[in-house]
């Protein structure tokens, strides 16, 4: 569990350092998930005007983010970190 937290913190630090966060449609995020072996996915639920599911992961050094109205199907080999929140600029 500590390793998951450290890995999630590393993803957040990488985003802060690079300043690059790419927002994509849920379908595009799902396509990217299929390209990554053993992905680390940070997830959270939120929403002010309705329930949303938020996801973030890194692929080839770029952080990708999406929001979906329904939960995405995640790969079985994914390492999933449930965050309290995901902050995006």
| Number of domains forming the structure of the chain | 1
Give 45-55 pLDDT, tens digit per residue: 987 888 999 99
31 within a domain of the structure (yes/no): yes
The CATH number that applies at residue 30 is 3.30.720.90
For the segment 9-28, the average pLDDT, to the nearest whole number, is: 77
pLDDT of residue 41: 96
Range of the structural domain that residue 7 is part of: 2-82
87 within a domain of the structure (yes/no): no
For the segment 10-32, the average pLDDT, to the nearest whole number, is: 80
88 within a domain of the structure (yes/no): no
89 within a domain of the structure (yes/no): no
71 within a domain of the structure (yes/no): yes
User: DSSP labels for the chain?
Assistant: -HHHHHHHHHHHHHHHHH--EEE--HHHHHHHHHHSSS-EEEEEEE-SSS-EEEEEEEETTEEEEEEESSPPPPPTT-EEEE-S-----
Q: Tell me the pLDDT of the chain averaged across its residues.
A: 86
């Amino acid at each position: 569990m500590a390793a998951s937290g450290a890995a999630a913190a590393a993803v957040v630090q990488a985003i802060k350092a690079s300043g690059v966060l790419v927002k994509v449609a849920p379908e595009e995020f799902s396509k990217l998930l299929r390209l990554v072996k053993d992905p680390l996915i940070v997830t959270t639920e939120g929403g002010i005007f309705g329930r949303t599911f938020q996801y973030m992961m890194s692929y080839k050094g770029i952080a990708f983010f999406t929001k979906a109205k329904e939960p995405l199907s995640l790969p079985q080999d994914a390492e999933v970190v449930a965050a309290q929140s995901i902050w995006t600029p």
